[in-house]
Structure 1
Amino acid sequence: MTAFDELMVYQRETEALSQIAGRLGWDQETMMPRGAAPQRAEESGALEAVIHARRTAPQVGDLLAAAEAPDQAGAAQLRLIKRSFERTQRVPADLATTLARLTSRAQGNWAEARENNDFAAFAPVLQEVVRLKREEGAALADGGDTYDALMDDYEPGATGAQLQAMFDEMRPGLVALRERALNHPERAAVSGSYDPQQQMKLARELAKLFGYDMARGRLDKAVHPFSSGSGDDVRITTRTSKTDPFNCIYSTIHEVGHACYEQRIDRDYVLTPVGQGVSMGVHESQSRIYENQLGRSRAFCGWLFEQMRDRFGDMGVADADEFYATVNRLHRGFIRTEADEVQYNLHIMLRFDLERALISGDLAVADLEAAWNDRFAADFGYAVTRASDGCLQDVHWSVGLFGYFPTYSLGNVYAGCLHEALRQAVPDLDAQLATGDLAEATAWLGENVQQHGGLYEPRELITRACGAEPTAGPLMAYIEEKFGALYPA
């Protein structure tokens, strides 16, 4: 074998172990008995130690030095392996192992604290997570910005300063549109009771409609919906509410966007660094365009209205137009995952600022709940009354995902650009969506984004798909047009 071939054989084994680690996380969120949490923390830590050792093994450096890429895909493989090798080498093995054990335990602590609305009970373990993430970030930064170094795990090449500038550009328009919309009488949600089993049945049908291959995946329930895995084992979760069927429906469509990205990557790349989504920003672009620009479009809502009326009967909305307005209603609320497209990014901006302050040391964990509540009141105009609606609502910090949150808004920006290009490529898109036909839309995304996996860098991938560098312009134009019509001045 050539050095390149030998390196890829070694790397496939490492990637396989990483997939097993991900499966442990999926099981912990869906099926693991609560009492197994301490043992699972030990298992996760032990597996992380093995993976870390493989990623930093001297033979990886030797093979990288000797390997020559046979083609474009090979060059991308070497680029990604080198990036991982250099970053992982900077993190001491004992730190990586300790973090894996701690975040596995912290996840259970978070879930219990969230259920009890008790931030004080979670604060000590979160403080330890933050301390270790600062240590990890400092090791990765090698003298540079600690937060940027952490964020590079999720969006290579992006910086906090760049995203801050983008958010500052977006914020005034979002705030103005929100204030205008909330001056209108608030639209009521759907009424009635919605059987959870029927919701899950519809969710599975929608997953298939949007292209999810159930032969290589499964749909389960979790406290916080997520997608896990790649290649031939990509699993998603959703949640149900007897009074809010949209929670299940749009959580499912959102996670299907993530899952389809992973399932549609070129099969030659399976269990290699190129064989997974290139960044969380690009990943989020797929989930958000599936959920919002396609799933919440007027055309698709007309089709979905008929499907839901047939299954659930009267929902308290008169017709398809009222259904569309209800699906897209701006409303007061606390939960990021339930926020409308206008206010969603404001949720992300809040978290982005707070977690940068936590990592920099400008904000102490003990002061996080008060800081969150003060910022939320300033941004949204009403008070958080319980921790599960505030700083305990998201799982991310408990599992150490600092630098992850801003990729949600970056994904919205990418989705705006892709939606603009998609409509140019498929001029009769609305006619197709009105019949529940997602085939051409999802095929376009599969061809232009998903099949490439990590072949290109994130911004290059979006630029190639759209024919122009990504900016916030298309997203803001889409939001202004859509919600300007729903909430006229």
Structure 2
Amino acid sequence: MGAYEDLMSYERQTQALGQVAGRLGWDQETVMPRGAAPQRAEESQAMERVLHHRRTHPRVGAWLAQINEGALDKVGRANMRHIRRRFDRTRLVPAELAGEIARVTSEAQGQWAEARAAQDWDAFRPVLENIVALKRDEAQALVANGGYGGDLYDALLDDYEPGATGADLQAMFDAMRPRLVSLRDRVLGASHQPQKLEGRFDESAQIKLAGELAIAFGYNLAHGRIDKAVHPFSSGSGLDVRITMRTSKSDPFNAVYATIHETGHAAYEQNIARDHLLTPLGAGVSMGVHESQSRLYENQLGRSRAFAGWLFGRFEDHFGGLNLGGAEAFWGAANRVYPGYIRTEADEVHYNLHVLLRFDLERQLIAGTLDVADLEEAWNTRFEADFGIAVDKPSNGVLQDVHWSVGLFGYFPTYSLGNVYAGCLGQAMRGAVPDLDSFLAKGDPATPARWLKENVQTHGGLYEPAELIERACGVAPDVDPLLDGLEAKFAEIYRL
């Protein structure tokens, strides 16, 4: 075999080990006994050290030097781009540090869950202080030789959205914020306000409905499963892609839309071309693109008027009579705008304001201009300024998200970037599938979603993120399709 074939054979084994490590994470958040956390932390540390060793092995560098990329096809060149980028990035971070981050964050997940349940920020604060220090050490290693312009946050962000910078995202947020705030104020001040769905909703019925919806949106249960978790997530790629959801006796929309959201992530991974399985191209290209799929499934399809009309009937079948007057009122209830505490339950208008808060605070934490000791106060002050309500307890504030406990600094802004991508893709999909609403009205979002499979999902990591979106949409990504769509939708619901 030649150097490229040798490299790809080696890479396939590395990818397989990475999938095993991911399965450990899924197990930890779903079925692992709490008492196993210290041992699992050591197991995660050991796996990370093995992966770090393989990804930075001198053989990888030797193969990269030997391969003539000009002689490779498009797929080969894309594989090389991913492997070279990971090799150059990973070898800057000492194996001991990578392993320690894996160990600490593995154990921190359980510590976060316990502190969240107990409403005890003080118990989790020293854990987070250690994580922030470790992530700053990682970022310092990545910028040590002048990388990322010396910006610590950009070094971490690049792991989730290659090529993006904090400055670029700040410019995007600056363009979004005034229109979002203006829309929010007009909606909350409107004389017509949609009804709220009220009642008690059987949790077993929620789980059954969630399973039906996942299938309706194209989730293949022959290669997946649905479980409950404290924080809904999707895990895996290729032939084994798993999702989780949660229920609420008073709010079935929580279960429904979290499931549709995670199904969007899972559909992306399940629909990647099989030829890319266990290669660098066999996973979503970035978290921004990943979020574009989940947010498009959840909001542009799942919260559309056409689909809500069908979903209203399914709610009545599963839960009996509702307090709403009909399908139109149900659509309004599914899209109610209100200043709530929880990001994952937020309406489309407030959602990005939640992300902006986290983006600003985590940039300050990594830059060293905000201490973890002052984080709760900073969060509460900013939240009340942005949302007009005071945080009542830590689980509704600084302890609500799992992300920082597992070291995901730089992840949060990809949610809003995903919304922007989704706005562009949704506009293009409606142009390509003019009878989209007729499918949605029949409870068949999977058929029109084939456009996403063909234009986004099947490619996996073949193209760079912005290039992929531009190829699918025919134009460069822009905030206007998202904001125009939100303004039109809520003007109709709230009769502005």
How does the TM-score come out when normalised to structure 1? 0.99
Residue aligned with 2:88, SS: helix
Query: Which one-letter code corresponds to 1:159 in the other structure?
Result: T
Q: Which of 131, 134, 151 does residue 129 from structure 1 map onto?
A: 131
- Kindly provide the CA deviation profile for residues 241-296 of structure 1, in whole angstroms up to 9, marking residues without a partner as x: 11111100000000000000000000000011110000000000000000000000
Distance 2:495 2:377 in 1: 36
Residue aligned with 1:439, SS: coil
Distance 1:382 1:187 in 2: 21
Question: What is the alpha-carbon root mean square deviation over aligned residues?
Answer: 0.9
- Structure 1 residue 332: deviation in Å? 2.7
2:91 is aligned to 89
1:247 is aligned to 254
Distance 2:38 2:103 in 1: 9
Distance 1:437 1:210 in 2: 7
Alignment of 1:461-476 (within 5 A): 461-476=468-483
Query: Which one-letter code corresponds to 1:39 in the other structure?
Result: Q
Q: Which of 169, 175, 178 does residue 169 from structure 1 map onto?
A: 175
Distance 1:183 1:292 in 2: 23
- Kindly provide the CA deviation profile for residues 449-475 of structure 1, in whole angstroms up to 9, marking residues without a partner as x: 000000000000000000000010100
1:323 is aligned to 330
Distance 1:451 1:372 in 2: 39
- Kindly provide the CA deviation profile for residues 10-31 of structure 1, in whole angstroms up to 9, marking residues without a partner as x: 0011111111111111001000
User: In the alignment, is the contact (CA less than 8 A) between 1:3 and 1:68 conserved in 2?
Assistant: no
1:183 aligns with 2:185: no
1:449 aligns with 2:456: yes
2:68 is aligned to 68
Alignment of 1:294-313 (within 5 A): 294-313=301-320
Aligned pairs, number: 489
- Kindly provide the CA deviation profile for residues 168-206 of structure 1, in whole angstroms up to 9, marking residues without a partner as x: 110011111111111236544212221111111111111
Distance 2:215 2:384 in 1: 40
Query: Which one-letter code corresponds to 1:413 in the other structure?
Result: V
1:147 aligns with 2:153: yes
- Structure 1 residue 487: deviation in Å? 2.1
- Structure 1 residue 3: deviation in Å? 0.5
Q: Which of 159, 165, 180 does residue 165 from structure 2 map onto?
A: 159
Distance 2:107 2:196 in 1: 37
Alignment of 1:106-117 (within 5 A): 106-117=108-119
Over the matched positions of the two proteins, sequence identity in percent amounts to: 65
Q: Which of 202, 224, 232 does residue 195 from structure 1 map onto?
A: 202
Distance 1:452 1:386 in 2: 43
Distance 1:50 1:410 in 2: 33
2:52 is aligned to 52
Distance 1:119 1:310 in 2: 42
Distance 2:207 2:68 in 1: 49
User: In the alignment, is the contact (CA less than 8 A) between 1:12 and 1:272 conserved in 2?
Assistant: yes
Distance 2:281 2:127 in 1: 34
Q: Which of 413, 417, 439 does residue 420 from structure 2 map onto?
A: 413
How does the TM-score come out when normalised to structure 2? 0.97
Runs (4 or more) in structure 1 with deviation over 6 Å come to: none
- Kindly provide the CA deviation profile for residues 97-141 of structure 1, in whole angstroms up to 9, marking residues without a partner as x: 000000001111100010011111000010000001011011112
Distance 1:315 1:162 in 2: 45
